């Protein structure tokens, strides 16, 4: 291949390549949008309601980080013993 052929080939590849990438991803945008609108229109998914029972939630929230910390510490301690 001569050097000018090589350059032509490169330009051609770039145009075709970027073109194909864009064509493909634009097609994907369309298809994805269609899927999403079909789904939301015809098969609406009942989204999980925001957690009710704020009282219980608050209570659990106040417990959890502590418990998580304790578990974490326990695991760390356990590992430390093992090594």
Partner 1 sequence: MDKLFELWQTTGIYQIELGQLIMILICLVMIYLAIRKGFEPLLLIPIGFGGILANMPVAGMAESGGLLYMFYEVGLLTTVFPLLIFMGVGAMTDFGPMLANPRTLLLGAAAQFGIFGTLLGALALTAWGIPGFEFTMKEAASIAIIGGADGPTSIYVTSQLAPHLLGPIAVAAYAYMALVPMLQPPIMRALTTEKERAITMTQLRVVSKTEKIIFPILLLLLVAMLLPSAAPLVGMLCFGNLMRECGVVERLADTARNALINIVTIALGLAVGSKLNSEAFLQLTTLGILVLGAVAFCAGTAAGVLMAKLMNLLSKQQINPLIGSAGVSAVPMAARVSNKLGLEANSQNFLLMHAMGPNVAGVIGSAVAAGILLNFVG
Residue 77 found at the interface with a copy of itself (CB under 8 A): yes
Considering only residues 12-31, where is the footprint of partner 1 by CB under 8 A?
A: 12-14, 16-18, 20-29, 31
CB 45 within 8 A of CB 39: yes
Task: List C-alpha distances in Å: 12 to 2, 40, 52, 67, 69.
Answer: 15, 42, 60, 62, 59
CA–CA distance, 19 with 8 (Å, rounded to integer): 16
Residues binding partner 1: what is the number (CB under 8 A)?
35
Per CB under 8 A, does 54 bind partner 1? Answer: no
Do residues 74 and 82 touch, judged by C-beta distance below 8 A? no
Which positions touch partner 1 (CB under 8 A)?
A: 1, 3-4, 6-7, 9-14, 16-18, 20-29, 31-33, 35-36, 39-40, 43, 45, 47, 83
Which positions touch a copy of itself (CB under 8 A)?
A: 60, 63-64, 67-68, 70-71, 73-74, 77-78
């Amino acid at each position: 291949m001569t050097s000018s052929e090589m350059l032509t080939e490169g330009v051609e590849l770039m145009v075709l390549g970027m073109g194909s990438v864009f064509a493909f991803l634009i097609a994907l945008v369309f298809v994805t949008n269609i899927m999403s609108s079909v789904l939301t229109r015809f098969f609406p998914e009942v989204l999980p309601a925001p957690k009710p029972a704020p009282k219980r939630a608050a209570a659990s929230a106040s417990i959890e980080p502590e418990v998580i910390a304790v578990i974490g510490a326990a695991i760390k301690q356990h590992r430390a013993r093992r090594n």
